Amino acid sequence: MQLSEYRNFDATGLAELVAKQEVTASELLDAALAGVAAVDGELNAVIATFEEEARRFIAQELSDGPFKGVPFLLKDLTAHYGGQPTGAGWPPRAAVRPAEDSELVRRFKKSGVVIFGKTSVPELAMDWTTRSRAHGVTNNPWDTTRTAGTSSGGTAAAVAAGVVPMGHGNDGGGSIRVPSSACGCFGLKPSRGRNPVAPSGSTWQGMLVEHVLSRSVRDSAGMLDATQGLHVGQFFNSPPGEGFASEVGRDPGKLRIGVSTKAPYGAATHPDCVTAIEETMKLLEGLGHICESHDIELPPDGWSAFETFILAEYATDMRLEEDVLGRKLTADDFPPMLWEMIDAGNGISAVDVNVATTRLHAVASAVTSTFNRYDVFLSPTLAQPPLAHDAFPQATSMREHYEFYLSWMPFTHIFNVNGSPAMSVPLVWNAEGLPIGVQFAAAPAAEGLLFRLASQLEMARPWEGKRPPISVA
């Protein structure tokens, strides 16, 4: 299969070709590897490939699932593939090779995908762009001088450039939706507990969720069918869904949609992001939906509570890493700002964490109450278009680090706090030719509604024909 042909299919389409015996899984793997060779020198998105293992898997373990034979990449964070490193962009972890697959990877394999490599992440996912001491900076295929987003930026760049039609990502504060917006992908963050969380079942108290970034809505829905469901290894489980792939193409009905461009906690929203919402509202109203201005009123101490909670969670993660590495961690193991965060987290008391969690319940209540009035909530995904690499400070204090967070990605984390599904949809490109994602959220466990709306938008304003300058074909 030529790269120009390979690039024209989403994962569902490639699986159909395999099922018809028009192409083999090995031929698709050849194409994906050729795609890595063609573009990754400019993107720096794929940090490792394991072709020999992928070919062994095709020969011995390939599952007859809905995505049989489709090449697939794992984000190099949390998703363990037995025998392959999970490095998290962090030099001390480079040699750590988990012995077994995590539950999510087992479910990916049962879907039929052929996992052949890992994608880049920020160091320990603690940066607002995808860069690390281990692997350097990942570039955006729409403009290589700009960020691919965080922290699934490697997957987003690879999917947008056509290396794979769909790849793994996870999202603890926006890390599926942010890079999807920056790279022009479709990215849905599922409800809390919908998918098994890897490797620990209670990561960030269920705020961190796992799924994929894709180019088509149907691929995201089909993979959620394949991976969702109860997992005995975690505290938080959503009720099983009813078949998300069947929601694609269904009429969502006449929706009442709350709309806001006001960023939580005071960040400015760039005019391009405001324009994207205005264009989206016109599209929605043309499809028969009702759009009303609505700003979610959040508790004033919600952001400080989120900071406290996350700092404590980072410190917890590093305490557990000491068990993996078999030694104590010190300041020498981290860039100065990351060590400041971890040190601060270690200084937070259990009582302070519980108080912060209580405050976050108030945030969750405010967010979830929105869906008593509206079916869906619309906002920008990001407060700014994809930023230039040099916009991200190389060395900063923890306080400046969090202030930058709010200036860049203030719209996403509230839906991790309340557990709602939320998606970034690539509907708008600005005058510079950069993608500007728009975010839709719905009530917890309402992924089906979002898939219906997303597929309606995909048909009304298709984005598949949008190809970045850096592309496999």
The single residue of 102, 120, 152, 175 carrying the catalytic annotation is: 175
SS3 427: strand
Residue 68 is a catalytic residue: no
Hey, CA dihedral for 233, 234, 235, 241, is it positive or negative? negative
> Exposed, middle or buried by CB within 10 Å (0-12, 13-18, 19+), for 90?
buried
SS3 102: coil
Alpha helices (H) in 240-348, listed in sequence order: 271-286, 302-325, 336-346
Distance in Å from the first CA to the final CA of the chain: 12
The single residue of 102, 132, 151, 379 carrying the catalytic annotation is: 151
Residue 175 is a catalytic residue: yes
Q: Give, as one character, the DSSP assignment of residue 275.
A: H
Residue 132 is a catalytic residue: no
For residues 223 and 194, is the Cβ–Cβ distance under 8 A? no
**CA distances to 263, 289, 361, 444 from 198, in Å:** 30, 38, 24, 21
Q: Cα–Cα distance between 359 and 381 in angstroms, integer?
A: 24
Q: Give the total residue count for the chain.
A: 473
With a CB cutoff of 8 Å and minimum separation 6, the contacts of 75 are 118, 119, 121, 151, 152, 154, 155, 167, 168, 169, 170
Other Cβ atoms less than 10 A from the Cβ of 268: the count is: 12
Across-strand partners of 48? 118
For residues 10 and 165, is the Cβ–Cβ distance under 8 A? yes
Q: What is the DSSP string of 434-447?
A: -EEEEEEE-STT-H
Other Cβ atoms less than 10 A from the Cβ of 101: the count is: 20
The single residue of 75, 109, 118, 189 carrying the catalytic annotation is: 75
Q: Give the residue numbers marked as catalytic.
A: 75, 151, 175
